[in-house]
A and B are shown apart, each in its own frame.
Chain A
Amino acid sequence: MSIPQFRTFFFLILASFLFAWFGLVVFPWLTVGHLPPIQEEGSTDIIPWDIAGAAHQGELVYAANGCAYCHTQQVRASTSGADIIRGWGTATDDSDPKKEITRRTYPRDYIWQHQTFLGHNRSGADLSNLAHRFQTAAELYRYLYDPYILNAHSSMPAYRYLFTTRRVTGAPYEDALVLAAADAPPAGWEIVPTAEGKSLVAYLLSLNKGYHLVPDESGVPYVPPSKS
C-alpha cells in the first residue's frame, strides 16, 4: 500500500466504523437517551418515579454478584415473544395494590436506573416485575437464603454469604429469618441480612412497573387466548 492508498484505506475503515457507531449508539442516544418522565395534566405526579437510595445501592450488589448473567429485566411485546404469557409482564398497580397491570417494557421504564440490567440469558425468570411475585422483604430474604424451598431442583445458588448469624441482643431483629426447625440457628442466635443483602432486597423490591406509560402504549392488559 502506498501512502495515498493507505489514507483511503484508513478513511474507509473509519467510515464503516462510524456507520455502525452512529446506527447502534448515536441514533438511539438521540432518540431514547434523554427521555423525561411523564407528567399527567392536572397532576403533580410523574411516572416513572425514581427508586429509593437503598435500592440504588442494591444495583451495585446486583452487579457484583452477577445476577444479570441468568436473569433478564425486559418484557417483550406479546407479538415478539411469550414473556407476557410467562407472567413476567404482570405488575402490581401502583395506585391500587389489588389491581394488576400487564404490559411490555419501554425505554422510559429504565430512565432512573443508574445501571440497566436487561440481560441476555433466561436460566432464571425475568425480574422486571419481581416485586409483584414477592410482596415482602421477608419472603425475598428467605428465598435468597434457600432457593430450594420454591424449586427443589433450582440452579440458583443460595446467597448465604449475604447473611450473618449473630447473637440476639435485646429484641430479635425485625428482618431476622424465620426458618424451619431443621435449618434454624441455635436458641439465642439469629440469621440476619448483611448491609449488601438489605440493599439487594431493597433493589429487588423496587422492580415493579405498575403504571401506564400513556404516550407509549394503550395499557390494554393481556388476555390469554381462549382455547377452542
Chain B
Amino acid sequence: MATLPSPGIADKGFVSTNPELAAIDASVRWPVLICFLTAVHWMVVGTFLLVYASSLTHPQDSVPGLGLFVDLSDYCSFFTYGHVWPAALDSLVYGWASTAGMGLAIWLLARTCRSLVRAPGVLVTGIVFWNVGVAVGLTGIFLGGSSSVELLEFPEYASWILWLAYVLMAISAVLTFLGRKPGHDHLAQSWVLVALFAFPWLYAAGSTLLGTRLQAPSSALDPNASASWSFSLPGSGVVQELIGSWYVHGIYTLWLAPLALGVLYYLIPKMSGINIEYSSKAKAAFWSWIVLAPWTAVHDLVGGPFPADTVTVGLILSGLIFIPVTLIGLNLVGTAIDGENRQGHHGGVVFPFLTLAAVIFVVAGASEQLLSIRSINQVLRFTMFRECNTFLWVYGFFSFTAFGAMYYIVPRLLDFGWRSALLIRIHYYASVYGILLVLAMLGFGGIMQGFTLENPDPRVTIVTADEVAVSFYIGTTLCLSLISIGNGIFALHLGWMLLDWLRQQVRRSRLASEILFEPYVEEAPAKNSEEVSV
C-alpha cells in the first residue's frame, strides 16, 4: 500500500506548461469547481446521515449515550432509520458521487478531446438544477414521500428536476466531445461516453417505471378524498423488483464505475509517466465490463420468486465478471504499482489515492464474483454483506478516485496549492483504515450473520441472528465515523484552500487597482541631492 510523502504545497505553478491544456483548464474552471464544491457538500451531509443511520442499527442499550437518538427516532418520523438510511444513500449517490462524477466527466472530456468546454452557461444551469433536485428529493424523503425503491426513493417531483438537470449537463458534455480535435482519442473518452449514455436510460426507465405514482400519499390517506384513489407502478408484481435490481446495479456498474475508471485510465499513466501495462487488453476489458457488469443485478434475485431462466443466465454472465475485473486490475493496479516502484510517489497527494482506488476496484469486483456463486449468494444475500458491497463501490472505489482526482484538478483550476500536507495525510489514512474496517466489519459480519440465518437448526431465530450481527453493526458505526473524520477534513481543507485563494485574489486585485488608479505623483527631489551626487 502506498505511503504518503510530503505533497508539494505551493501558492503557484500548477497550471499546465502546455498552453492548450492551460486554456482548457481555464475554460472548465467554474463549472467543474461548482460541481466539486456542491458534491463535497452532499458528501458531508450524506456521511453525517450515514453515521446517524448506522447508530440506529444497534439496539438502545448497546452503546451508552445512543438512547437519545433512539428516543428521537421513536417519536419523530424524521429521525427513523427508514427515513435516514435512504436519505443518506441517495445523498451519497446522487449528491456526492453523481455531481462529482459529472465534474470529472466534463474535465476529462475537455482535456482528452483538447476542446474548450461548450455551452458552459447551460452546464452551470444544469448543475444548479441538479443540486436543487437532490435537495428537493431529500426533503421529500424526510417528509414521508419516499417510495422505498432502492436508489429511487426521491419523490416524483424531484426526479423530474434531476432528469431535466441531467439533460442540460449532458448537452454540454456531448457538445464538448463533438468539438474534439482529430487525433485525440483516449480510452477514457469511451468510459465517460458509456456513463453519459447509461445514466439517462437507467434513470428514465427506473423513475418512470418505479418512481411514478398516480396520486400522492397524503391525498391517498385523506379519508375525505374521493374513492378513486389509487396508485400503481407500471411494472406489475415481481417485475418491479427486477427493474429495481437492474437499476441499482446499473447505477453502480454502468454510471459510477465507468466515470471513475475513465479518470483512472487517464490519470494513472499520466502521473506515473509510463504507458498502461497490458494496454492491448484495455479494449477487451472495456467491452467485457460493459456486457457483463449489468448482469450483477441477479445477485439480488437468486432463490426469490423470479423466472429461473433469468437468474441462471444472469449468474453465468455475472460469474464471468472476473474477466473484466482481472484485465482492468492488470491495467490499472499493474501500472500504478510499476509506476510507484520506478519513480516514487509522483506528486505525493494524488497517486496514493488513485492506487488505492484501483485496488478497491478489484476488491469490489471480487465481492461481486463471490455473490455470483449460488451457494455463497444463498448465505450472503440478505445480510450486511450487501451494504459492504455498496460501500465498496460508492465509498471505496468511486470516492477514492474522486478524492485523488480533486487533489490533482483543483490546484490546476485555481493555480493555487493545497494548504497542508498533514491534513491530506490524515484524510488518506482515515479513508484507508475506515474502508478496510468497513470491509472487515460488514463483510465478515455479513458472513457470520448469513451463517446464522441459514442455520439448519429450527431453534435459531431472527433474534439469534440479530445478536450475532449487532457487534458488527457497532463496529461499522465506528469505522464510518473514522471515514467521516477523513471526509470532513477533506471538506474543511477544500474550504480553507478556497478562502485562501479568494484572499489572494482580493489582495492581487487591490494591488492592481492601486497601481492603476492612484494618481501619479512625481517623487519629491531628494534633499541635499547635490551633496549626494557629489
A contact set with B: CB distance below 8 Å: 1, 9-10, 12-13, 16-17, 19-21, 23-25, 27-29, 31-35, 56-57, 60-70, 72, 74, 76-77, 80-82, 85-87, 104-107, 109-111, 113-125, 148, 151, 153-155, 157-161, 195-196, 199, 224-225
Contacts and interface: CB of A to CB of B under 8 A. Distances in A.
Given A60-B217, A116-B237, A81 B303 contact: yes
Contacts of A19: 291
Contact of A109 (B59, B231, B303, B305): B305
B455 A82 contact: yes
Contacts of B230: 56, 114
B58 A69 contact: no
Contact of A153 (B61, B73, B384): B61
B235 interface: yes
Interface band, chain B? 35 or more
Given A70-B81, A110-B237, A196-B221, A60 B302 contact: no
B507 to A, nearest CB: 46
A86 B461 contact: yes
A52 to B, nearest CB: 13
B466 interface: yes
A202 B457 CA distance: 33
Nearest to B70: A157
Contacts of B246: 20-21, 24-25
Interface string B218-246: 00110100000111110111111111011
A67 B261 CA distance: 35
B419 to A, nearest CB: 40
Nearest to B223: A195
A228 to B, nearest CB: 13
Contact of B314 (A24, A74, A81, A160): A24
Contacts of B314: 23-24
B234 to A, nearest CB: 10
Contact of B294 (A24, A32, A69, A110): A24
A17 B201 CA distance: 9
Given A17-B294, A60-B220, A157-B73, A80 B382 contact: no
B453 A77 contact: no
Contacts of A33: 235-237, 239
Given A17-B294, A65-B82, A125 B462 contact: yes
Interface in B286-316: 287, 290-291, 294-295, 297-298, 300, 302-307, 309-310, 313-314
Interface in B373-406: 374, 378, 381-384, 386-387
Given A120-B300, A120-B382, A224 B220 contact: no
A110 B237 CA distance: 5
A76 B303 contact: yes
Given A65-B82, A76-B303, 8 more contacts: A1-B189, A13-B290, A27-B309, A107-B307, A114-B233, A118-B304, A120-B150, A159-B80
A25 B209 CA distance: 11
A36 B77 CA distance: 38
A80 B149 CA distance: 25
**Which of the listed residues A20, A35, A158 has the most CB atoms from chain B within 10 Å of its own CB?**
A20
Interface stretch (B31-39, B103-111, B140-148, B348-356): B140-148
Contacts of A16: 287, 290-291
Interface in B460-512: 460-463, 465-467, 469-470, 473
A24 B58 CA distance: 35
B74 interface: yes
A13 B240 contact: no
Interface stretch (B190-198, B262-270, B330-338, B432-440): B190-198
Contacts of B250: 20
Given A64-B146, A74-B304, A225-B456, A195 B221 contact: yes
A9 B193 CA distance: 10
B398 to A, nearest CB: 20
B221 A114 contact: no
A129 B359 CA distance: 43
Contacts of A66: 80-83, 85-86, 146, 148
B305 A64 contact: no
A32 B300 contact: no
Nearest to A158: B74
The 9 A-B residue pairs with the shortest CB-CB distance in the complex, in nearest-first order: A66-B82, A63-B148, A80-B303, A20-B294, A122-B382, A76-B303, A64-B144, A158-B74, A125-B462
A35 to B, nearest CB: 7
A23 B146 contact: no
B525 interface: no
A86 B456 CA distance: 9
A64 B378 CA distance: 29
B242 A28 contact: yes
A156 to B, nearest CB: 9
Contacts of B382: 72, 119-122
B458 interface: yes
A118 to B, nearest CB: 5
Nearest to A65: B82
Contacts of B290: 13, 16
15 contacts: A24-B294, A67-B82, A70-B81, A80-B302, A80-B303, A82-B456, A85-B458, A114-B232, A114-B233, A116-B238, A123-B466, A123-B469, A155-B56, A159-B74, A161-B75
B491 to A, nearest CB: 27
Given A34-B236, A125-B462, A74 B305 contact: yes
B453 A27 contact: no
B454 interface: yes
B367 interface: no
Nearest to A162: B77
